[in-house]
Amino acid sequence: MFLADFWRQNTRRLVALALIICLFWFTRLPTLSANERATIASHFSFTPLPLPELTGTLRFSRSVHPSMERHSAWISAVGASVGLNDLDGDGLPNDVCYVDTRTNQVNIAPVPGTTARYQPFVLEPSASLYRDTAMAPMGCLPGDLNEDGLIDILVYYWGRTPIAFLKTASSVKLESTIYVQQEIVTEQERWYTNAATFSDLDGDGHTDLIIGNYFPDNAEVLNASATGVESMQHSMTRAYNGGRNRLLLWKNATMGNKPKVQFQEAKEVLNEQIANAWTLAVGAADLDGDLLPEIYFANDFGPDRLLHNRSKPGKLNFALLEGKKTLTTPNSKVLGHDSFKGMGVDFGDVNGDGLLDIYVSNIAGEYSLEESHFLFTSTGKFEQMRRGVAPYIDRSESLGLSRSSWGWETKFGDFDNDGVLEALQATGFTKGNINRWPELHELAMGNDELLSNPHSWFRLQTGDDLSGHGHNPFFVRANDGRYYDFAKELGMDTIQVTRGIATADVDGDGDLDFAVANQWDSSVFYRNESSKLGTFLGLKLLLPVAGNLEHVTGRPAIGANATVHLPDGRKLVAQVDGGNGHSGARSSEILFGLGDLNPNTQVPIDIQWRDSSGRVHESTRLLSSGWHTVLLNEKNVGNSTEV
């Protein structure tokens, strides 16, 4: 009787309690046992080595326009950058180019732990090109700009247009004097560039440039002596008053001791909303198999943009792609409809279907602003692209990559050579002692008409904190199919505020190393010393160069596709990267992990590329494990020279 009365009187409460318990159970994130974590962690081992620090006056914030002084730490939040490549021509990507925000310098050095082949030096523009009181370097992008087979450096800035540092043909020892400085555009403007990448946009066989800009062109953001009032973004979710993104087509170049390169801007290709977004990262990759790269703009304060490439040589043509919403898909998780803060982008095949997926970083910190990172997986329905549909579905939550912190760079890499990609992420905004999240929340809920006025912004200066006490995740995929962060087990959970990540097999031993660029702090190289490594196959895909420069085999075949066919039917895919992301540039080699495959087993590899005239070629070859340098011979397509 008592129980019957109790149930009758408390039915609603008990049902509500049961629903709460069920919902709580379903919202719990999956976990791994201690034994599972230990087993997975045993596959990885990294030794951190600080990047060399050159002398210079240390600073920990920037001088900014007087109207922005109240939130100077916000303005000072970017600039750290890192790239790994073969700058000295010794055949290994064992040189590092990085921006140290504390000294406002672009540094070139041998990677720590490698032979001291030259003294570290600063890549410094001449006084006629650079003014420290109103400009700052934001990134260094290694690449062969004039197509002579020597790796040059593109440095991009806040406060001016990018500068090309072209390596001279007669250079023997790497030092600052061997570089010739050159403007890449003729107009003397103030750009606020946050990202850049090389890619053959029009399919003519030459490497073009994509420039992602942030603050409005010709603003005086870093000029503490300027007058007036500068503008911030006009919205937290739909801001289109930023600097203009540029597409620069390669026109011609000269080699030798007086190298030059000429680019020409392709104007009126991007509509106003795409061109004037507040861009933090750019990516270019051939997603539909036609060897024309699609472009992904990761935008702050508004929707990211994926552009389908429909170009012809000399004439660019891009169409906006947007995902399709389903009954269970939130609007913000549909590609092209997000209102998040896109900050990093990378491409890799995470579901083993032989198609590239897209990994995008946003703000996703617990108890602060938990939006979501994205992992847009391909459906393979590329015919939809012709109808303006992006054939991608966000799987970040089910795959365990939707949450971390305030995210920036994203990078895929197979660090244990098991044939499954790991996922790295740079996180953190500014490290201090006073939590400013309440003020940022208040600002974000304000009227957009007030937001663009810097006087309406909250105080954010040195000593204030926004997601400044986390670590960079190192995500590994477990047997349940989800990614889990193993930074703690690997001793890599040091507090860092990081912007760029670059990957390369620095010492040529068949495993990927990586470097991180930290904001207002020392930057770090992580040498891979993992002992439980699978078999690997590495490719250096090169195009022939004009002339007969000594010790030059060819130039990186940016955008070339490689597909490895494994005996079990799986396919591994990758493309030669031209510098995708926010401010970290991986080297141009491709490294595939082959798992437990016998090292002597030869596997078929399909290679697709465009030659220097834009003609498309395909070659299939059998290769065994190890590093292979492949010169993509244009005259004898079926039998490309292997060095």
In this predicted structure, what is the pLDDT of residue 366?
Answer: 87
404 neighbors 425 (Cβ within 8 angstroms): yes
End-to-end CA distance of the chain: 89
Q: What's the total number of domains in the chain?
A: 2
pLDDT tens, position by position, 599-627: 999 999 999 999 999 999 999 999 999 99
- Is there a domain that residue 18 lies in? no
Can you tell me the distance from the alpha carbon of 411 to that of 473, in angstroms, rounded to the nearest whole number? 11
Alpha helices (H) in 445-599, listed in sequence order: 448-451
203 neighbors 312 (Cβ within 8 angstroms): yes
Residue 605: give the domain boundaries: 535-631
Q: What is the CATH number of the domain that holds 428?
A: 2.130.10.10
- Is there a domain that residue 16 lies in? no
pLDDT tier for residue 634 given thresholds of 50, 70 and 90: low
pLDDT tier for residue 7 given thresholds of 50, 70 and 90: low
Can you tell me the distance from the alpha carbon of 467 to that of 394, in angstroms, rounded to the nearest whole number? 25
Q: What is the CATH number of the domain that holds 545?
A: 2.60.40
Whether residue 51 has pLDDT greater than 60: yes
Half-sphere exposure of residue 243: CA atoms within 13 angstroms, side-chain side: 28
Q: Which residue has the higher pLDDT, 132 or 427?
A: 427
Q: Which residue has the higher pLDDT, 643 or 292?
A: 292
Among 20-29, 103-112, 462-471, name the one with the lowest average pLDDT.
20-29
In this predicted structure, what is the pLDDT of residue 227?
Answer: 97
Strand partners, 616: 610
Task: Say if residue 447 is in the same domain as residue 561.
Answer: no
Task: Say if residue 303 is in the same domain as residue 353.
Answer: yes
pLDDT, average across residues 241-267: 96
Q: Is 172 exposed, middle or buried (0-12, 13-18, 19+ CB in 10 A)?
A: exposed
pLDDT, average across residues 391-406: 97
pLDDT, average across residues 285-300: 98
347 neighbors 357 (Cβ within 8 angstroms): yes
pLDDT, average across residues 184-196: 95
- Is there a domain that residue 341 lies in? yes
Task: Say if residue 519 is in the same domain as residue 542.
Answer: no
Can you tell me the distance from the alpha carbon of 472 to that of 405, in angstroms, rounded to the nearest whole number? 9
pLDDT tens, position by position, 368-396: 888 999 999 999 999 999 999 999 999 99
480 neighbors 30 (Cβ within 8 angstroms): yes
Whether residue 638 has pLDDT greater than 50: no
Q: Which residue has the higher pLDDT, 211 or 128?
A: 211
- Is there a domain that residue 517 lies in? yes
pLDDT, average across residues 331-360: 95
Phi-psi region of 51 (alpha: psi -120 to 50; beta: other; left: phi over 0): beta
SS3 label, residue 135: coil
Task: Say if residue 437 is in the same domain as residue 577.
Answer: no
Whether residue 172 has pLDDT greater than 80: no
In this predicted structure, what is the pLDDT of residue 449?
Answer: 85
Token couple for 43? 């596959």
Closest of 341, 375, 484, 498 to residue 426, by C-alpha: 498
Whether residue 207 has pLDDT greater than 90: yes
- Is there a domain that residue 19 lies in? no
Out of 489, 510, 528, a domain closes at: 528
- Is there a domain that residue 640 lies in? no
Whether residue 642 has pLDDT greater than 60: no
pLDDT, average across residues 106-112: 98
Which helix (H) or strand (E) covers residue 477, if one does? strand 474-477
pLDDT, average across residues 528-538: 97
Closest of 539, 210, 575, 559 to residue 356, by C-alpha: 575
Angle made by CA atoms 232, 237, 243, in degrees to the nearest 5: 45
Out of 528, 558, 586, a domain closes at: 528
Task: Say if residue 148 is in the same domain as residue 177.
Answer: yes
- Is there a domain that residue 562 lies in? yes
Task: Say if residue 498 is in the same domain as residue 623.
Answer: no
Can you tell me the distance from the alpha carbon of 431 to that of 15, in angstroms, rounded to the nearest whole number? 45
Whether residue 90 has pLDDT greater than 90: yes
Can you tell me the distance from the alpha carbon of 305 to that of 266, in angstroms, rounded to the nearest whole number? 18
Q: Beta strand 305-309 with 318-321: parallel, antiparallel or unpaired?
A: antiparallel
pLDDT, average across residues 556-561: 98
Whether residue 1 has pLDDT greater than 60: no
In this predicted structure, what is the pLDDT of residue 637?
Answer: 47
